[in-house]
C-alpha cells in the first residue's frame, strides 16, 4: 500500500507517541509505523520515573535542586561524554514537558523519589503502573484525532527513502505486504535502543566483559533497526559502546519488577558473604561492575519493615511484597540470621554488616564505599530480602542529533527531512544514563522532534 502524509514516525514507543502528538499539535498530519502488535515499546515496561527540577513537589519535601545541578549530575554522571547542547536541552525542558504531559492527562504522585542510579531526589513517579500512564495519555489524544494521526501496527520499517539528498519517506513490511509511506515534511526515527539484539550488543561492546549471557529488561522489538537505517543514509552514530546494565534485575526474567527495595535510602546490597561491597546510591555502571565482581555475579537487597509499614504494601514497581514472597522471589523473616539462612547467604556477617550500616545512618557520615544517602536504620522486623543481578537495560549510544532533533551526518551537517528522538539517539547521556533521565529524554526530544518536523 502507498501512504501519503506529512510526518512519518518510525516506532510507537514513548518517544514516537510524544512526537506524534507534538507534530499534530503543530499542524501536521501524522503516520506512525510500529512493528510490534502493540504500541508502547520499552516505555510501557520501564520503571517510568521522570527526573525534573520541580519547585512545587521538591519544595514541599524540602529537597534543594536546580537546573544547574541536574545538568551537572547528568553531564558528569556520563563522564562528560554527552553533548552539552543536548544535556542542556534535556534539563531545561524536563519540567515544561512534564507539565505538557499533565495537560494530556498524565498523572504523577505528589512525592519525589531517588531512583536507582539517579544520584538525586528528582524522580516523579507515575500514578499508573510502569510506563502505562504515558502511553495512555498519548493514545487518548491520538484516538481523539484519529482522522489526522494514523497508527499502523505490525509494520516494520526497513529503509528510508532518499530523493535528492532529502529523506522523503519510509519503506516498511506490513501485515499484508509492502508499505510505502511518503512524508512531505519529515521522517522521525523513534525505534528505541538495541538491548534486545545480542549480536549488535556484542559487536559494539568494548567496555564490559561479554554481555552475551546477561538477560535484558527490554521488549524483543528493541533491536536497533533505526540505527541501521539511519547509518545507511549517512547519519553519524555516537557513543555506541556505552551500554547500560541495570544493577537490580530479576535473576530469572531480567525484568525490573519484583525488587524488594522501594527507595534507595532504605536498602543495602550484600554479597553471598553477607557483606556490602558498593555505595547503593552510586551510578548504575559502578554498581553493576561491582556486582559482576562478586561471587555468582549476584547480590541480595535487604530492607526492613520501614519499607513495608502495612506488611502487604506494593513492592518497587507493582505487585505486593506478599505476592513476591508467595512466588518465592522475595523472603521475609523475623531476624536477619533467619533471613540470611533462607537466602543462602552468610548470617553472622549479615548481622555485622547491618549493625555497621546502622551506625552510619545514625551519624549520617559517609561510609567506606562513599554512601551518603540515609534515612531509616535497618532494625525493625520483619526483614525482607531478595536476589538481584545486572541486566542489559539501555543503550546510551545511537544517532547523533542537534537540539532540534535533526539528524546529523558524519560532517556534522543536517540530513534534510530526517529527525530522531528517544533511546535511538546518542549523546544525551554520555557513558552512563542517570536513573529517571530516560523518561525526560524520550518525552522532551519526542516533543521537540514532532514540532521540528511539523514546522519544516
Q: Which residues are catalytic?
A: 284
Distance of CA 220 to CAs 51, 194, 436, Å?
26, 9, 22
Distance, CA of 193 to CA of 237 (rounded, Å): 13
Q: Is 258 in the site for ligand ADP (CB under 6 A)?
A: no
3-state secondary structure string, 76-102? Answer: HHCCCCCCHHHHHHHHHHHHHHHHHHH
Q: Is 3 in the site for ligand ADP (CB under 6 A)?
A: no
**One of 5, 8, 11, 194 touching ligand ADP (CB under 6 A):** 11
**8 A C-beta contact, residue 405 and residue 426:** no
Distance of CA 59 to CAs 52, 62, 66, 122, 142, Å?
12, 5, 11, 11, 34
Which one, 53 or 399, has the nearer CB to ligand ADP? 399
**8 A C-beta contact, residue 164 and residue 233:** no
Q: Is 122 in the site for ligand ADP (CB under 6 A)?
A: no
* DSSP character at residue 210: P
As measured in angstroms, the least distance from the Cβ of 409 to ligand ADP is 21
Q: Is 126 in the site for ligand ADP (CB under 6 A)?
A: no
Distance, CA of 365 to CA of 344 (rounded, Å): 30
Considering only residues 413 through 432, tell me which ones interact with ligand ADP, judged by CB under 6 A.
Answer: 422-424
Q: Is 87 in the site for ligand ADP (CB under 6 A)?
A: no
Residue 296: partners with Cβ closer than 8 Å, 6 or more residues away: 272
Q: Is 52 in the site for ligand ADP (CB under 6 A)?
A: no
Which one, 32 or 260, has the nearer CB to ligand ADP? 32
Q: Is 381 in the site for ligand ADP (CB under 6 A)?
A: no
Interface stretch with ligand ADP, choices 190-198, 287-295, 402-410, 411-419 (CB under 6 A): 190-198
Interface stretch with ligand ADP, choices 6-14, 21-29, 357-365, 383-391 (CB under 6 A): 6-14
Distance, CA of 146 to CA of 58 (rounded, Å): 37
3-state secondary structure string, 367-436? Answer: CCCCCCCCCCCCCCCCEEEEEEEEEEEEECCEECECCCCEEEECCCCEEEEEEECHHHECCCCCCCCCCC
Q: Is 13 in the site for ligand ADP (CB under 6 A)?
A: yes
Q: Is 169 in the site for ligand ADP (CB under 6 A)?
A: no
Q: Is 160 in the site for ligand ADP (CB under 6 A)?
A: no
Interface stretch with ligand ADP, choices 80-88, 116-124, 185-193, 329-337 (CB under 6 A): 185-193
Q: Is 35 in the site for ligand ADP (CB under 6 A)?
A: yes
Interface stretch with ligand ADP, choices 7-15, 116-124, 335-343, 370-378 (CB under 6 A): 7-15
- With 0-12 / 13-18 / 19 or more C-beta atoms within 10 angstroms meaning exposed / middle / buried, residue 312 is exposed
Q: Is 385 in the site for ligand ADP (CB under 6 A)?
A: no
Strand partners, 267: none
Q: Is 392 in the site for ligand ADP (CB under 6 A)?
A: no
Q: Shortest CA distance to 300 belongs to which of 334, 277, 323?
A: 277
Q: Is 435 in the site for ligand ADP (CB under 6 A)?
A: no
Q: Is 133 in the site for ligand ADP (CB under 6 A)?
A: no
Residue 213: partners with Cβ closer than 8 Å, 6 or more residues away: none
Q: Is 16 in the site for ligand ADP (CB under 6 A)?
A: yes
Which one, 39 or 454, has the nearer CB to ligand ADP? 39
Which one, 57 or 246, has the nearer CB to ligand ADP? 246
Strand partners, 383: 333
Distance, CA of 279 to CA of 276 (rounded, Å): 8
Which one, 13 or 426, has the nearer CB to ligand ADP? 13
Interface stretch with ligand ADP, choices 27-35, 95-103, 243-251, 307-315 (CB under 6 A): 27-35
**One of 9, 20, 21, 34 touching ligand ADP (CB under 6 A):** 34
Q: Residue 321: which H helix or E strand, with range?
A: helix 321-326
Q: Is 304 in the site for ligand ADP (CB under 6 A)?
A: no
Distance of CA 39 to CAs 12, 156, 445, Å?
5, 12, 18
Which one, 11 or 47, has the nearer CB to ligand ADP? 11
Which one, 353 or 443, has the nearer CB to ligand ADP? 443
Task: Give contact residues for ligand ADP (rule: CB under 6 A).
Answer: 10-16, 33-36, 41-43, 156-157, 190-192, 221-222, 225, 422-424, 442
Amino acid at each position: 500500500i502507498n501512504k501519503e502524509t506529512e510526518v512519518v514516525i518510525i516506532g510507537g514507543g514513548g518517544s514516537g507517541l510524544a512526537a506524534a502528538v507534538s507534530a499534530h499539535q503543530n499542524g501536521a498530519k501524522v503516520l506512525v509505523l510500529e512493528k510490534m502488535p502493540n504500541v508502547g515499546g520499552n516505555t510501557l515496561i520501564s520503571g517510568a520515573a521522570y527526573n525534573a527540577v520541580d519547585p512545587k513537589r521538591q519544595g514541599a519535601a524540602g529537597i534543594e535542586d536546580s537546573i544547574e545541578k541536574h545538568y551537572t549530575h547528568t553531564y558528569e554522571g556520563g563522564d562528560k561524554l554527552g553533548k552539552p547542547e543536548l544535556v542542556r536541552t534535556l534539563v531545561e525542558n524536563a519540567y515544561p514537558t512534564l507539565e505538557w504531559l499533565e495537560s494530556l492527562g498524565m498523572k504523577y504522585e505528589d512525592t519525589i523519589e531517588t531512583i536507582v542510579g539517579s544520584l538525586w531526589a528528582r524522580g516523579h513517579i507515575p500514578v499508573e503502573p510502569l510506563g502505562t500512564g504515558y502511553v495512555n495519555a498519548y493514545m487518548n489524544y491520538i484516538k481523539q484525532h484519529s482522522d489526522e494521526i494514523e497508527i499502523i501496527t505490525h509494520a516494520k520499517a526497513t529503509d528510508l527513502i532518499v530523493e535528492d539528498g532529502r529523506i522523503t519517506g519510509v519503506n516498511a513490511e506490513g501485515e499484508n505486504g509492502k508499505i510505502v509511506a511518503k512524508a512531505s515534511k519529515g521522517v522521525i526515527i523513534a525505534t528505541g535502543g538495541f538491548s534486545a539484539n545480542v549480536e549488535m550488543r556484542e559487536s559494539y561492546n568494548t567496555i564490559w566483559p561479554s554481555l552475551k549471557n546477561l538477560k535484558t529488561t527490554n521488549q524483543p522489538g528493541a533491536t536497533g533497526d533505526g540505527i541501521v537505517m539511519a547509518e545507511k543514509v549517512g547519519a553519524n552514530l555516537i557513543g555506541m559502546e556505552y551500554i547500560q546494565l541495570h544493577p537490580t534485575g530479576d535473576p530469572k526474567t531480567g525484568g525490573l519488577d519484583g525488587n524488594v527495595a522501594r527507595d534507595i535510602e532504605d536498602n543495602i546490597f550484600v554479597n553471598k558473604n553477607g557483606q556490602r561491597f558498593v555505595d547503593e546510591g552510586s551510578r548504575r555502571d559502578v554498581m553493576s561492575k561491582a556486582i559482576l565482581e562478586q561471587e555468582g555475579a549476584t547480590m541480595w537487597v535487604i530492607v526492613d519493615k520501614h519499607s513495608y509499614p502495612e506488611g502487604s504494601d506494593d513492592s518497587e514497581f507493582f505487585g505486593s511484597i506478599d505476592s513476591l514472597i508467595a512466588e518465592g522471589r522475595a523472603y521475609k523473616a523475623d531476624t536477619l540470621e533467619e533471613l540470611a539462612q533462607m537466602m543462602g547467604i552468610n548470617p553472622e556477617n549479615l548481622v555485622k554488616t547491618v549493625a555497621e550500616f546502622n551506625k552510619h545512618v545514625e551519624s549520617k557520615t559517609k561510609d567506606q564505599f562513599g554512601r551518603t544517602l540515609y534515612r531509616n536504620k535497618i532494625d525493625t522486623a520483619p526483614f525482607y530480602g531478595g536476589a538481584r543481578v545486572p541486566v542489559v537495560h539501555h543503550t546510551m549510544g545511537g544517532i547523533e542529533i542537534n537540539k532540534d532533533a535533526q539528524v546529523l551526518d558524519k560532517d556534522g551537517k543536517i540530513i534534510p527531512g530526517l529527525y530522531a528522538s528517544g533511546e535511538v539517539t546518542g549523546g544525551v547521556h554520555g557513558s552512563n544514563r542517570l536513573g529517571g533521565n530516560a523518561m525526560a529524554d524520550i518525552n522532551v526530544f519526542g516533543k521537540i522532534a514532532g514540532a521540528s518536523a511539523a514546522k519544516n
